[in-house]
Structure 1
Amino acid sequence: MKHKLYIFLLFIFLLNSCNDALDIAPDGNLQLDEVLADPDKVEAMVNTLYENIPLKGYVYFFFDPAVVACSDDGWSSEDGQGQLVDQYYKDNTSASNHPMRDFHDGHGARTNAYWDRYWKQIRLCSQLIEVIDEAAVNDEADRGRFKAEAKVMRAFFYMELVKWFGKLPVMDATVPFDADFSELTKQSVYEVAQLILSDCNDAINEPALPWRITTDANAGRATKALAAALSSEAIMFAASPLHNEGQNHWEEAYQVAKKSVEQLKANGYELFNSTTQPNVFGDGQAAALRQLVCQNADFSGSPRDKETIYQARTGGTFVWHIGYIGSNMSNTFKPGTCPTQELVDAFETINGKPVLDLNNPYQDEQHLVPNYNPDNEMYDPNNPYANRDPRLDQTVLHNGSKMIWDNNEVTVETFTGGQHAPSFDVTARARSRTGYFHCKMVTPGASGVNQISNANWKFYRLGGLLLNLAETAAKAGHNAEARVAADEVRARSGMPELPGSLSPEELILRIHNERRVELAWEENRYFDLRRWQEPSGDLSETCKWFTAMVVTKNGDGSFTYTRRNVSSNPRGGWQNKDLVLPLPLSEASLLESVTGQSWQNPGW
């Protein structure tokens, strides 16, 4: 690692007068022994563990959900503006300047800078673990809780690094100033996962660490539930083809995922199955999912939302006049990233059958010729949005969708000449590129034009953990348990159970597709597409060509639906090198000079 990472001078933060346990106080110039002698300063030191929690959703450069926009679920109308997604789409990426890794937000702050920020946090966590036993605390129970929180947050930041960079050095302790870095090596994702599992198991075994936060003052603090979620995710990534180095870890991943779900359920976590605000979210079968992602989790002993495992303390998803419908609507600015036809194709019909052949969804490279599922007799290409999984209408606005805007019901018109028709001119920022608009994170039915959802980002929820269990169980050959876990998620939205007649290969395809549908717009698809690839693979089948739906209104009021490519050129980000981010060029060069080993990720 860069010397600045491990010779980083720890800034100690003085506790201010705010009541919020996670208010970060101003930095001071105290010696460590002075800090450890004062319980309030020790608590302030704990607060530093929660710095640099990544911002998600609509808080990337110019309020674009960049991770979604760079998956196959979305295409951004910022594609001609020279900004983050535009650079990515044009493949203007390098180890010295990568937009996803380095780009600034609209106010000049580096919202990403993942490598530097997360390693800093890992060191802060390790240091607290090492010194907390000799620190003064206000309550002896705090000592165990603080150490457990540090272990969970170390696991959290390690997991974030794994998602972006893959292999990492495994360090469970701080490194002294005069350390010999010549023996430093990258270790496998499985080895990183073992550290995460160890830290999370220790945290779960700590009596003072709670399973759930029950007061607003402690919002954002680590819990046993977060430890369980991280355990499930870490070993699933380690078992996935991109990272498993030819080893089969699926049985271990299944056992961890199963235990995590069992622990969560035993401690009061459950799916949010029924909306508590039908006047806002309606009473449709996917209304509860829409409410879940649009509203903050509540903190009490008996919360309304028992599904959310870990929610960011700050940083709303910010959907309003930016990132919603745009297109000739009052008080709107731009639609930002819009769902692709590929995402729309993923939603089954209500009889539980895929629209396309999931094994080979398109007959051509450019996705213009869909390979329809011959067993699905319900889907009608001439009426493509009828009889679909209820989650489609809670995720995507399409031609004929109904919405409330400025106290009036509006019918979405994406047909040529309609109010919301797409444009394929990159200067038309207020137009969808795909013929669709995102709506999952937007509170429906609100009065006026301020259709806003500023819910803080939900990093982990039980629905995602159930799908981790479904995938790992299927890959480990526990097909019946895989179906049960997936079916629990599907049932929330009124979708039928997966057929027991599915082959193991078919079951895995269905579970992969279920992840795409249930977790759409929640920044999972970007990483799923990558971890499912072999190290020699690429994303040419999913992330090279994208399609839009062009709708023509006929004289009799019917519509004709025609697919076309969003762009005449392939989009960047699909090559083998794009499976993981590059280490910063200066970082890789320094590490190579110190260790004599190659540190840069393949292709960079």
Structure 2
Amino acid sequence: MAPDGNMQMEDVLSDPDKVEALLNTCYNNIPQKGYSYWFFESLVVAASDDGYTSDEAQGVPTTGLYSDNNSASNHHLRDAHDGHGGGNTGYWNRSWEQIRLCSQFIELIDQAAVNKETDRGRFKAEARVLRAFFYMELIKWFGKVPVLESTIPFDADFSTMTRASVYDVAKFIVADCDAALAEPNLPWRIDNPNDAMRVTKALALALKTKAMLFAASPLHNEGQNHWEEAYTTAKDAVTRLKANGYELFTKTTQPAVYGDGPAAAFRQLVTQNADYSATPRDKETIFQVRSGSVFVWHIGYIGSNMANTYKCGTSPTQELVDAFETIDGQPVLNLAKPYHDEKHLEPNYNTANTVYDPNNPYANRDPRLYQTVLINGSVIQFDSKPVTIETYIGGAHQLSFDVTNRGSSRTGYYHCKMVTPGASGNNQINNSNWKYYRLGETILDFAEAAAEAGHLEEARSAANEVRARSGMPNLPSGLSQQELILRIRNERRVELAWEEQRYFDLRRWQKPDGDLSETCKWLTAMVITKNGDGTFSYKRQSITNNPRGGWQNRDLLLPLPLNEAATLESVTGQKWQNPGW
């Protein structure tokens, strides 16, 4: 037969350069994040209780999410474009494609030609970490999935395939990561820009921690208590990360841009790329994408129909603002029951808080509030001049409940965490690389697992380490286990806001028969009126007259693609689809 231009695998394995190219395919399909979803929407944030989009009536994915118009054949989050240059996220299909590529590489590398023998071990370790990464993505979105330790022939008998428990999948992730950690040629940190996005031992530890955290969480633990195992895994990870040069980024290196306030370093961390150096400025970031995906080009920032802006996108909710403590370290609301009513219009204030003033609600708050949310009275540099944010009725940036108005906030707030201060509306505001894992997150994973396992002082100390970066006082000693768990959950919300963590946290904290009616069914705006004497009056108001979609029991997990579930069920005789779909 005439040559058709295709290579056989033996052609690949005999050429060291092609072997490296084969490894590169294992890096395909790493999901984009931030504002890379369809039409520059921060989709995962907009689907949580931290954000509400002004794009709910434009035919974009949030339209389907908010109207609850989802099915197993067409789910607006599972199937949303995510910046890959075409097609859909397809978290199910893309992840399995990558898992097969990684398994294939692991099976073949021992017989492949390499430029240096030390490459062989590193390449195999990288494929193992990547396989763990994609399994973790499947757990987050779908829960239980099959554990495939090797590639499966296309003519294999699939009749005995089953969905493994999340715990068993987590143990497989741990095994892959442990094998990678044992490889001496896999580095702890990438110090060469040419190797940007290559995986490391640090990522292996972060993945182990995350996998066990999910396995122990109520949604996935199947009635078993895995918290002690999650705690020991996380403790080992944090200890080893710190021993190998990872540390929180605690002091800004650009005070002229970020100021010298207590949360300046926090803001710089998330708006600048981690650097690749033997002595990096940012020693906190564990894994970031290779090219920018926190793309904010006058989108999701101030919007509000100003010159040189495009639209508003997703804005912080009143519920997120409520989560930020006062500067003395007291929660504003009673964390066990934050609201007296279903619609969150009647806050249940923390009686121990003597600092919060409902008539001056943004004063004396956690410094991270001002680095995450633009509030009424915030001052920003925009188009090379100072702009005072006016979200009150009649102000330059007032909110709007008109679903045809894409430029104004639905909530009375605007997002700023991912935006470099002092930006110009004529230029991209930020295009930093998305940070998939950072030490601050892993420390909070450890804090949660320690609290749930009963190691309260270790849990408190870990949370305090993260809080101290932004000038917040220590959590008080003497908290009960449940009180400490609530404080750490709230700390996750504040520290990790807009980093696509809250969506998953809310779900894994539910039991399998639970739902999100308390957090995601009704969301709130702050309507501000300017009084004649220059003071302001504040009124909470529901953003919509109807509940927002995505709060039901079925929404705890994404559905498997309809055709995939139907095929597997017909072959195995077992139920494969997630509940409610």
- In the alignment, which residue of structure 2 is the partner of 1:497? 474
Q: What are the residue-to-residue correspondences of 1:428-439 with 2, within 5 Å? A: 428-439=405-416
- Residues 420 and 431, structure 1, Cα contact 8 Å, conserved in 2: yes
Cα displacement string for residues 137-166 of structure 1 (whole angstroms, at most 9, x for unaligned residues)? 000000000000000000000000100000
SS at match of 1:310: strand
User: 1:449, CA displacement in angstroms?
Assistant: 4.6
Query: Compared with structure 1, are the counterparts of its residues 57 and 472 closer, same or farther at alpha carbon in structure 2 (3 Å cutoff)?
Result: same
Structure 2 residue aligned with 1:354, among 313, 316, 331? 331
Give the count of matched residue pairs.
578
Q: What are the residue-to-residue correspondences of 1:559-570 with 2, within 5 Å? A: 559-570=536-547
Is 1:230 aligned with 2:215?
no
User: 1:563, CA displacement in angstroms?
Assistant: 0.3
- In the alignment, which residue of structure 1 is the partner of 2:135? 158
Cα displacement string for residues 560-590 of structure 1 (whole angstroms, at most 9, x for unaligned residues)? 0000000010000000000000000000000
CA distance in 1, matches of 2:282, 2:88: 29
- In the alignment, which residue of structure 2 is the partner of 1:399? 376
- In the alignment, which residue of structure 2 is the partner of 1:423? 400
- Residues 72 and 342, structure 1, Cα contact 8 Å, conserved in 2: yes
- In the alignment, which residue of structure 2 is the partner of 1:546? 523
Q: What are the residue-to-residue correspondences of 1:224-303 with 2, within 5 Å? A: 224-303=201-280
CA distance in 2, matches of 1:505, 1:386: 29
Structure 1 residue aligned with 2:430, among 428, 433, 453? 453
User: 1:203, CA displacement in angstroms?
Assistant: 0.4
Structure 2 residue aligned with 1:144, among 113, 116, 121? 121
Structure 1 residue aligned with 2:50, among 73, 81, 95? 73
SS at match of 1:101: coil
SS at match of 1:236: helix
Cα displacement string for residues 195-252 of structure 1 (whole angstroms, at most 9, x for unaligned residues)? 0000000101100000000000000001000000000000000000000000000000
User: 1:314, CA displacement in angstroms?
Assistant: 2.0
- Residues 60 and 111, structure 1, Cα contact 8 Å, conserved in 2: no
Unpaired runs of 5+ in structure 1? 1-26
SS at match of 1:561: strand
- Residues 401 and 411, structure 1, Cα contact 8 Å, conserved in 2: yes
Structure 2 residue aligned with 1:94, among 71, 91, 95? 71
- Residues 62 and 106, structure 1, Cα contact 8 Å, conserved in 2: no
- Residues 308 and 461, structure 1, Cα contact 8 Å, conserved in 2: yes
CA distance in 2, matches of 1:109, 1:323: 22
- In the alignment, which residue of structure 2 is the partner of 1:132? 109
User: 1:72, CA displacement in angstroms?
Assistant: 0.2
The residue type paired with residue 489 of structure 2 is H
CA distance in 2, matches of 1:108, 1:157: 20
Moved more, 81-90 or 558-567: 81-90
SS at match of 1:182: coil
- In the alignment, which residue of structure 2 is the partner of 1:324? 301
Is 1:43 aligned with 2:20?
yes
Query: Compared with structure 1, are the counterparts of its residues 337 and 197 closer, same or farther at alpha carbon in structure 2 (3 Å cutoff)?
Result: same
CA distance in 2, matches of 1:107, 1:123: 20
CA distance in 1, matches of 2:69, 2:217: 28
SS at match of 1:549: strand
CA distance in 2, matches of 1:471, 1:572: 29
> Alpha carbon RMSD of aligned pairs, Å?
1.2
Is 1:375 aligned with 2:352?
yes
- Residues 407 and 448, structure 1, Cα contact 8 Å, conserved in 2: no
Q: What are the residue-to-residue correspondences of 1:68-217 with 2, within 5 Å? A: 68-104=45-81, 109-217=86-194
- Which TM-score applies when normalising by structure 2? 0.98
SS at match of 1:409: strand
- Residues 309 and 425, structure 2, Cα contact 8 Å, conserved in 1: no
- In the alignment, which residue of structure 2 is the partner of 1:338? 315
Unpaired runs of 5+ in structure 2? none
- Residues 241 and 533, structure 1, Cα contact 8 Å, conserved in 2: yes
SS at match of 1:100: coil
- In the alignment, which residue of structure 2 is the partner of 1:484? 461
CA distance in 2, matches of 1:82, 1:106: 17
User: 1:108, CA displacement in angstroms?
Assistant: 7.2
- Residues 444 and 451, structure 1, Cα contact 8 Å, conserved in 2: no
SS at match of 2:251: coil
- Residues 250 and 476, structure 1, Cα contact 8 Å, conserved in 2: yes
Is 1:410 aligned with 2:387?
yes
CA distance in 2, matches of 1:129, 1:197: 16
The residue type paired with residue 153 of structure 2 is P
- Residues 516 and 525, structure 1, Cα contact 8 Å, conserved in 2: yes
Moved more, 98-107 or 66-75: 98-107
The residue type paired with residue 52 of structure 2 is W
User: 1:109, CA displacement in angstroms?
Assistant: 1.4
Query: Compared with structure 1, are the counterparts of its residues 135 and 104 closer, same or farther at alpha carbon in structure 2 (3 Å cutoff)?
Result: same
- Residues 56 and 315, structure 1, Cα contact 8 Å, conserved in 2: no
The residue type paired with residue 310 of structure 1 is F
User: 1:451, CA displacement in angstroms?
Assistant: 5.9
CA distance in 1, matches of 2:559, 2:171: 23
- Residues 32 and 83, structure 2, Cα contact 8 Å, conserved in 1: no
The residue type paired with residue 154 of structure 2 is F
- Residues 351 and 495, structure 1, Cα contact 8 Å, conserved in 2: yes
- In the alignment, which residue of structure 1 is the partner of 2:506? 529
SS at match of 2:38: coil
Structure 2 residue aligned with 1:590, among 554, 567, 576? 567
User: 1:82, CA displacement in angstroms?
Assistant: 2.0
- Residues 443 and 451, structure 1, Cα contact 8 Å, conserved in 2: no
User: 1:177, CA displacement in angstroms?
Assistant: 2.5
CA distance in 1, matches of 2:85, 2:273: 27
SS at match of 1:494: coil
User: 1:321, CA displacement in angstroms?
Assistant: 1.2
CA distance in 2, matches of 1:345, 1:358: 10
CA distance in 1, matches of 2:426, 2:321: 26
CA distance in 2, matches of 1:525, 1:287: 22
Query: Identity of counterpart residues, as a percentage?
Result: 70
Aligned structure 1 segments of 4 or more residues deviating by more than 6 angstroms:
none
User: 1:105, CA displacement in angstroms?
Assistant: 5.4
- In the alignment, which residue of structure 2 is the partner of 1:556? 533
Cα displacement string for residues 155-192 of structure 1 (whole angstroms, at most 9, x for unaligned residues)? 00000010000000001100123211000000100000
